[in-house]
Structure 1
Amino acid sequence: MKILSGILYCGLAMLVASIAGCTHGFEEINTDPNKMQVGDLQPYGMFEPLLYGMANQQTYYAYYWTDELAQFTVSSLTAQERHRYKITDIQWGSLWNNYAGKGLNATHMYELGVKFGDKGCQAVALTLKVYALSNLTDLFGDIPYSEAYRQREGIDRPRFDTQKEVYEQMFAELETANELYAQQPTFERASLDIMYGGDMKLWRKFNNSLYLRLLCRVSGRPEMKAGEKIAAMLKDSSKYPLIASNTENATIHNTGVDPYFGRFRPADMTKMNFTSSAYKIAKQFIAMTTIADGADSEQDPRLTTWAERDGDDWKGATAGCELADQQVDVKDCALLNYKVLVRDDAPNFLMDYSEIRFIMAEAALKGWIDGGEAQARVYYESAVKASCQKWAELERYSDVKAPIDDNAIAKLLAGRLAGWDSHTDKERLIAEQKYLSLFWVGLEAYHELRRTSWPELTIGRGALYNDWHLPQRMGYPSESVGSNPDNVNAALSNMGGVNNMLTPVWWSYKAINGTFREVRPDNAIN
């Protein structure tokens, strides 16, 4: 019976997502009178496909989008040119529809929780809604939020809220969720939750950790007073409990069993499909995790869990290389570690303890919280250690055994790759090690790269499709532009007036500073 129910619930939620997928925008979602309305479901019918669908989507986006844009990997397939910034309107639409659809499903889950008086369901729905729509706004900039999903009220062409307004509303909903969690509600279908087993205390920690992440995201905008709020949260752990160890990470522990979304999405891919014929490790990644210097060589202990060599040395591929040079350039380059990353029961990572500690390190270094540089170092080193220990749990699946133990971690923290004393620019060190720790965590490394402008990327000669600049956002898909032109044009005017990937999002380093750290090739224009 449970299997049958799971199939039914998944199918109905997919129906909702398909409505979003057909319309390419918020303005027409859930308008077909011939389709079953989500309001006819029980609230927990929304939860399982929403959580696992989003988790698998995030890992797929890490593989398909973040790895290429953030220069973790380089695709050798001529049809996949994201590392050259050849990104189409169809791809913009796919990203838009997927996150908008997840936001729709979470909104309905919340409404159903209210209808049935289920506070646990309401709280989890708000957390997942903000998780989905934070990714949407961070990819596109201004989006509908206050008027989104309100077609039944007659709003079929919603206003696009400014990104500042979106963030204020997300913070308010996370506060509401935190208050609901504080009432210690019961999650009635705990067996459906293979992330936290229905433990509302852990969901509350994830909710507040997400809040901390998003405050850090907008911390470059003084009007948001993010530093003050971060300090207040860190001083009041009883009101704002946070993820406090790797055992509390927001991780989907896939069972490897169908149906449901209990199997890791790339699990059906062969090694040929996943790595050797397609995605190679980028030079940027190799440079940040190895130092080839004879007897004084260093290597990040996580590297052999993340990747495997295709020869005697760690060789990386050129991100954005010219198409004519590609097959020579990728020869003998390192590969993603298939046996670690692709298994039926491989986990999906939404948020880790290490990210909390990196945020605390940045907060101490910038004076938002007490302790200064000395305390920032403590937080930083615990962040790196937490990231290493997370991957140490997966090292056993690797063909090459390179234990990530206390000695290896201590060596990393004392060396030139990640040692505090080896770097004069502590803010850069924190940002770059945080970037590495976000490998395989959805779109986070790409978001953080645009926020901090670290690491400084080298743009390849073939990355001409965005004028040799890292894409700062995705463009609104054409169908959304066509169906809601006045509000889309108002949003574009607010953000800079052009619907392209050069226009920076409001919280980004480029929007705030007017520039971005990147080494552009000699053939680049302007």
Structure 2
Amino acid sequence: MKKIIIIFLLISASWSFNACSKFDDINTDPNQTSEVSPSLLATNLILQSMQYPHVGVDFLYKDMLAKYISYMEGANNYQYNKLDRTYFSSLVKLTNVQKMQEAAAGSVTESTYRALGHFIRAYTFFNLTLAVGDIPYSEALRGEEGIINPKYDTQKEVFIGILSELDSAAKYFGSGRNFDGDPVYKGKIAKWQAATNSLSLKVLTHLWKKTSDPDLNVINRFNTIVTNGPIFQSNNDNFQTVYSTLEVENYPFYNSNFRKYPIMSTTLIDKMKELNDYRMFYFAEPALAQINGGETPMSWDAYVGVDPSDNYSSIAARYVANQISGINPRYYALAQGEPTFLLSYAEQCFIIAEGILRGWTAGDASDIYKKGVIAAMQFTALNTPDDPKYHHGMKITTAIINSYVAQPAVILSGSTEEQLQKIWQQRYFIGFMQNGWNTYYEYRRTGYPVLPINSATNLNSIPTQIPLRWLYPSKELSYNRENVEAALIRQFNGNDDTNERMWILQD
């Protein structure tokens, strides 16, 4: 991955140069360029789309909301289901999409940078609309045209736009050339085309209740992509950030001062025990009280979770008594950590398997699901040093993987609903210390796995459920109130509430 600090300094310098006065123009060295290259803008756009908070509790919010962990520095809103106002700050980076495309105009890589722009826009708007519902799309980022208060498009219109942008990205990558400035795939457009199609499949799964809408054409789009590709073929295709021992490229939770606070949940630990899933030994640390009681780090009974919906003081008492497993030290002791993926081959396998079960495309759902499980386990094993400190002597080997996927409880069998639940369970497993926001959205979409809800501790205004959305940004209420209120009236009878059901969630 490129050196992030250097990139931002170079771009900041360029922006400062372009804002210079006439005095600076007169004294400009004619041998120096005053324009930013498309490759530099591309690097910045890609990194900004993939970045996580570098240290601290912010990195763990997603895992709290998805009920992978409980957090012991103090009672946290995400653990207890309180969602507040979100931000549209991710839109700011999109102002550089047009600049990148303009800088590449007339070059042999024009098509490629055009494709990249569409991909970045689609990914950004996709995440924003998942968070709140209707958002500015068609008039967003058009301040230079005098549109400073953009209207809010319906969520359906936004999804149509996202799918159209991904169609354009796939087309332009298909006719493009390899390019510079890519910290993920080293400029290989075949990899980007597969990532574009994988993202399209992911977007389409969120439209599973809208398959009868001809404007969306969900089933045909899904089938065309799966049938014709290209799509991911292995973990080597993952759209992910790979970290290193260089300080500016360290894993986000490396050496964090907050490393002692996350502890494991029963939601994860108990299910992994039930399935004899060796990833548990890579995810967690044995509970010290269990070790002191005679268990070894290789024992399944050494690993104990806690219900994250329990009263905080009750959890704290067990935490102080060392009765609960913490997270595996590889998440804070290794500078390179493990890659964090936004799109993965394993997840794509689970998406396609679900599509086959729903009748969206042909194929062997059991086979593709099995490939996803194997890929997920291999990802964990290959990105962890072969050291008992990190796998506790319970190493994931080919034999272990083969035994795991052969278990009746893991094999894709039973009713369609039972098979879907097995797919969704495996998708839940792969989200740990990865993109837990995605896990939350999957739970919201499917209702599975069943996450613990305690009406006595739930901070949601409806104590029997987890919130369905974030609230619109306060800045939007301050500077674009008329359009925000119009969107709220259209969607939720004017209520900006975390329990309102957005369009994609409605039957």
Normalised by the length of structure 2, the TM-score is 0.84
Pick from 297, 317, 324: which aligns with 2:306? Answer: 317
User: Structure 1: which amino acid aligns with 2:269?
Assistant: I
CA separation of 1:453 and 1:81: change in aligned 2, threshold 3 A? same
Determine the structure 1 residue equivalent to 2:66: 70
Determine the structure 2 residue equivalent to 1:9: 10
> C-alpha separation between the residues in 2 aligned to 1:476 and 1:119?
35
CA separation of 1:267 and 1:395: change in aligned 2, threshold 3 A? closer
Equivalent runs, 1:342-421 vs 2, <5 Å: 343-346=334-337, 347-371=339-363, 375-396=364-385, 398=390, 400-415=392-407, 417-421=409-413
SS at match of 2:70: strand
* 8 A contact 1:392–1:404 mirrored in 2: yes
Pick from 304, 309, 330: which aligns with 2:281? Answer: 304
SS at match of 1:194: coil
Determine the structure 2 residue equivalent to 1:28: none
Determine the structure 2 residue equivalent to 1:205: 194
Question: Could you report, residue by residue, the CA deviation over 1:372-423 in whole angstroms, capped at 9, with x for unpaired residues?
Answer: xxx2111111111111111110232615232222221222223365233478
Equivalent runs, 1:96-245 vs 2, <5 Å: 96-97=88-89, 99-114=90-105, 118-187=110-179, 189=180, 192-222=181-211, 223=213, 224-237=216-229, 241-245=230-234
* 8 A contact 1:75–1:81 mirrored in 2: no
> C-alpha separation between the residues in 1 aligned to 2:14 and 2:473?
23
Pick from 499, 518, 521: which aligns with 2:496? Answer: 499
Pick from 40, 43, 47: which aligns with 2:42? Answer: 47
Question: Could you report, residue by residue, the CA deviation over 1:257-292 in whole angstroms, capped at 9, with x for unpaired residues?
Answer: 255xx333322414xx22x2x21111111122112x
Determine the structure 2 residue equivalent to 1:467: 462
Question: Could you report, residue by residue, the CA deviation over 1:341-396 in whole angstroms, capped at 9, with x for unpaired residues?
Answer: 6633232212111111111111111111224xxx2111111111111111110232
Question: Could you report, residue by residue, the CA deviation over 1:195-221 in whole angstroms, capped at 9, with x for unpaired residues?
Answer: 211111111111111111111121221
CA separation of 1:109 and 1:58: change in aligned 2, threshold 3 A? farther
**Residue identity (%):** 24
User: Structure 1: which amino acid aligns with 2:280?
Assistant: L
CA separation of 1:255 and 1:109: change in aligned 2, threshold 3 A? farther
Q: 1:492: Cα distance to partner?
A: 1.3
CA separation of 1:438 and 1:386: change in aligned 2, threshold 3 A? same
SS at match of 1:74: strand
Range moving further from structure 2, 211-220 or 331-340: 331-340
Range moving further from structure 2, 381-390 or 218-227: 218-227
Determine the structure 2 residue equivalent to 1:338: 329
Determine the structure 2 residue equivalent to 1:22: none
Q: Provide the aligned C-alpha RMSD in A.
A: 2.9
Pick from 426, 433, 437: which aligns with 1:440? Answer: 433
CA separation of 1:344 and 1:255: change in aligned 2, threshold 3 A? same
**Unpaired segments ≥5 residues, structure 2:** 22-33, 291-301
* 8 A contact 1:318–1:329 mirrored in 2: no
Normalised by the length of structure 1, the TM-score is 0.81
> C-alpha separation between the residues in 1 aligned to 2:318 and 2:6?
50
Q: 1:340: Cα distance to partner?
A: 4.3
* 8 A contact 2:155–2:503 mirrored in 1: yes
Q: 1:147: Cα distance to partner?
A: 0.6
SS at match of 2:341: strand
User: Structure 1: which amino acid aligns with 2:236?
Assistant: T
Is 1:487 matched up with 2:480? no
Determine the structure 1 residue equivalent to 2:29: none
Determine the structure 2 residue equivalent to 1:83: 79
* 8 A contact 1:305–1:394 mirrored in 2: no
Range moving further from structure 2, 56-65 or 352-361: 56-65
Q: 1:7: Cα distance to partner?
A: 4.6
Is 1:282 matched up with 2:265? yes
* 8 A contact 1:283–1:318 mirrored in 2: yes
SS at match of 2:253: helix
CA separation of 1:381 and 1:486: change in aligned 2, threshold 3 A? same
Q: 1:149: Cα distance to partner?
A: 0.4
Determine the structure 1 residue equivalent to 2:252: 265
User: Structure 2: which amino acid aligns with 1:339?
Assistant: R
Is 1:426 matched up with 2:419? yes
Structure label with greater radius of gyration: 2
CA separation of 1:474 and 1:342: change in aligned 2, threshold 3 A? farther
**Unpaired segments ≥5 residues, structure 1:** 16-31, 292-297, 513-526
> C-alpha separation between the residues in 2 aligned to 1:343 and 1:380?
31
* 8 A contact 2:241–2:340 mirrored in 1: yes
